[in-house]
Structure 1
Amino acid sequence: MKQFVLSLLSIALVSTSLRAADHVVYEPAGEAKGKHIVLLSGDEEYRSEEALPMLGKLLSQRHGFKCTVLFSLGADGTIDPTAGGSLSHPEALDSADAIVMLLRFRHWDEATSRRFEAAVNRGVPIIGLRTSTHAFNGYPKGSPFESWNFGNKGGWGRKFLGETWVSHWGKHKVEATKGIVEEANASHPILRGVDEIFGNSDVYEAAPPEDALILVRGQILQGMTADTPPASYSKKTSGTKVEQDVNKPMMPVAWTRMVKNDSGTENKVFCTTMGAATDLAEEGTRRMVVNSVFWGLGLEVPAKADVTPVGDYQPTMYGFKGFKTGLKPDDFILAK
């Protein structure tokens, strides 16, 4: 009988392990906030598969949130940012209290897309990073989600985040971004305790709608480090073809919105066109994103949130080539 019970226990443990192998859950440490943050990784360029586990560990261990990180997986179960149709364990979205996303050109199956849609329609806050402005593409003609494609009047990104993919306004991999706080909105809770905002990704061209509250603008720098001076040259905007100095005015790189979704409820939205894994190595940029989670959930933003990474965080440089191969969600757990 004892052997039978042990066998059942072994089967249960193996079963649990297999179910958890395609995603990672970080249980809250310290005083639990009672909120579940679901972080969606899936982009080919900016290393969301490295950035979002770091944020998940930080939000759970420093601030008491339960965090679940989902990934794009290849057929062999390893993390594959190029697998645009994959999102592991989408069931987590059913209990999401907030969504943090760094996605690019995803085209999930109908069941997964429905789960994401349902979470949005519940009115959960949405924190969209970098390429999430063009999170979806590749849904076929006639799909219920065809309108999410970025080329369809800006798609999901334009509708919810307030912008889609337009252009690299700064020179890609040549000119970094210094965040300049919008003076009129400097007291916004998302900017509480935020000092220097910097990222070695470039400024995107962006024109959020009038209902957006601009928090930060992006000063294009001449080089890839925070100590380089601002750039000064002219180029034409994509929409109007008007020529302007690239830093006069500076493009918005972080803003908030209140968006009514298809069910009639509202989503609090924070969008930043910064947010590459390397950008989030910077304390001020990381604090802005952490603060946005508190703000989105209607919680008091700390005076100076602890944003110290849990463990070592040395993100891989962005690019369409060079992402780490062979990684599995298991590689990001806190303890084996």
Structure 2
Amino acid sequence: MKTSRQTFLKVAAGLLVASQLSTPLIAQAKKPLVVFVTGDHEYSGELTLPLIAAELEKNYGIRTKVLKTVPDYNGEKDLPGLEALRDADLAVFFLRWRQLPQDQLDYIDAYLKSGKPVMGFRTTTHAFNYPAGDPRVRWNSFGEFAFGAPPGWGGKAQHTHYGHMSTTDVTVIPEAAKNPILTGVAPFHAASWLYRVLPDYPAKGAVPLLMGKSVNPDKAAIDNPVAWTWKNEWGGKTFLTTLGHPEDFRQESFQRLVINAIHTELGMPVPKTWKGKIDINVPYGHPK
């Protein structure tokens, strides 16, 4: 009898310990996972996006993983860790003119075809730059098939900008004012020189959210959308902004736009309470 009682107590104690250990693991697993995919030469996305990731972890109950090209931001042909996309609930891209190997592209391809949501910043409209004749050349149009943006830089779409001496005034498009992504977003001034996407983009079915007006353009300028939502051919919800200069990330309205968009892409309500401005002070152009 005594032995049975001791056995029972040991088993009970073991179950208690197991439950105490597993409860945090279960809770952690239920948190959505956002994977940030970075490598952009110019805009320090591998520095700004980890600060957004840290904010999501600290204040919004969202797990994150940040991937970076190697050996540094200029590394065009190796972006390790993309297998993390298999577990991602949202993939966020800030890429520019990469030439990744096919086995790495396969992870992105599988993610897109899963119909999960995608989000992109600025140069992601021209994320890849394979030479003519390369079997991966279709990826040069990643911006188009993933986000409803122009299919790469220049070309027939005349996807370009209004000069490095220009900046951009950003306003809310009145018809979109009630969109949850724009909660708390007021007009702001962006350091990003305005990208031209009109007249053919964003793609049919897109919902423009913010409009940009070029300040001090180097050529005749027209106003262009700088943020929109869309649904790609695999049914994935998409959000893209052509902004992304590190000084844009210092703007509280831009920070709210990003945090709101991430929540919306994940199918979560935008935060009822804004946790306050994020301290983001990252240089442009990777000064030595």
Quote how far apart the aligned CAs of 1:33 are: 6.1
Q: Where does 1:173-184 land on structure 2 (aligned, <5 Å)?
A: 174-184=165-175
CA contact (8 A) 2:145 2:233 kept: no
Quote how far apart the aligned CAs of 1:303 are: 3.7
Whether 1:98 aligns to 2:90 is: yes
Q: Distance in 2 between matches of 1:43 and 1:82?
A: 7
Give the structure, 1 or 2, with the largest relative contact order (CA under 8 Å, sep 6 or more).
Answer: 1
Any idea what the Cα deviations from partners look like across 1:165-209, whole Å, max 9, x if unmatched? 31113x21x221121111011100110111233321110001212
CA contact (8 A) 2:172 2:186 kept: no
Query: What residue is the counterpart of 1:313 in the other structure?
Result: 280
TM-score (norm 2): 0.81
CA contact (8 A) 1:196 1:285 kept: no
Whether 1:65 aligns to 2:58 is: no
Q: Distance in 1 between matches of 2:241 and 2:188?
A: 12
Q: How many residues align?
A: 254
Quote how far apart the aligned CAs of 1:307 are: 5.1
* 1:279 maps to amino acid: D
Structure 2 residue aligned with 1:42, among 33, 39, 44? 39
Whether 1:131 aligns to 2:123 is: yes
* 1:40 maps to amino acid: V
Give 3-state SS (helix, strand or coil) of 1:284's partner: helix
Give 3-state SS (helix, strand or coil) of 1:256's partner: strand
Give 3-state SS (helix, strand or coil) of 1:260's partner: coil
Whether 1:255 aligns to 2:228 is: yes
CA contact (8 A) 1:91 1:115 kept: yes
| Distance 1:307-1:46 versus aligned 2 partners, 3 A rule | farther
Give 3-state SS (helix, strand or coil) of 1:158's partner: helix
Query: What residue is the counterpart of 1:23 in the other structure?
Result: none
Q: Distance in 1 between matches of 2:243 and 2:251?
A: 11
Whether 1:160 aligns to 2:146 is: yes
Q: Distance in 2 between matches of 1:106 and 1:314?
A: 26
Quote how far apart the aligned CAs of 1:156 are: 1.2
Quote how far apart the aligned CAs of 1:90 are: 1.5
Structure 2 residue aligned with 1:283, among 252, 256, 268? 252
Q: Distance in 2 between matches of 1:218 and 1:123?
A: 29
Q: Distance in 2 between matches of 1:87 and 1:201?
A: 26
Q: Distance in 1 between matches of 2:161 and 2:248?
A: 16
Any idea what the Cα deviations from partners look like across 1:44-85, whole Å, max 9, x if unmatched? 0111111111111011111111100000111xxxxx111111
As a proportion of its length, which structure holds more helix? 2
- When Rg is computed on C-alpha atoms for both structures, the one with the higher figure is 2
Whether 1:189 aligns to 2:189 is: no
TM-score (norm 1): 0.70
Query: What residue is the counterpart of 1:204 in the other structure?
Result: 195
| Distance 1:301-1:113 versus aligned 2 partners, 3 A rule | same
| Distance 1:62-1:198 versus aligned 2 partners, 3 A rule | farther
CA contact (8 A) 2:148 2:232 kept: no
Quote how far apart the aligned CAs of 1:234 are: 6.0
Quote how far apart the aligned CAs of 1:275 are: 1.5
* 2:76 maps to amino acid: G
* 2:193 maps to amino acid: D
Gap regions ≥5 residues in structure 1: 1-27, 75-79, 150-154, 223-230, 236-245, 325-336
Give 3-state SS (helix, strand or coil) of 1:102's partner: strand
Q: Distance in 2 between matches of 1:323 and 1:252?
A: 30
Structure 1 residue aligned with 2:109, among 117, 120, 138? 117
Give 3-state SS (helix, strand or coil) of 1:257's partner: strand
Query: What residue is the counterpart of 1:82 in the other structure?
Result: 74
Quote how far apart the aligned CAs of 1:31 are: 8.9
* 2:149 maps to amino acid: E
CA contact (8 A) 2:112 2:146 kept: no
* 2:69 maps to amino acid: S
Gap regions ≥5 residues in structure 2: 1-24, 154-158
Any idea what the Cα deviations from partners look like across 1:145-173, whole Å, max 9, x if unmatched? 32112xxxxx111122122331113x21x
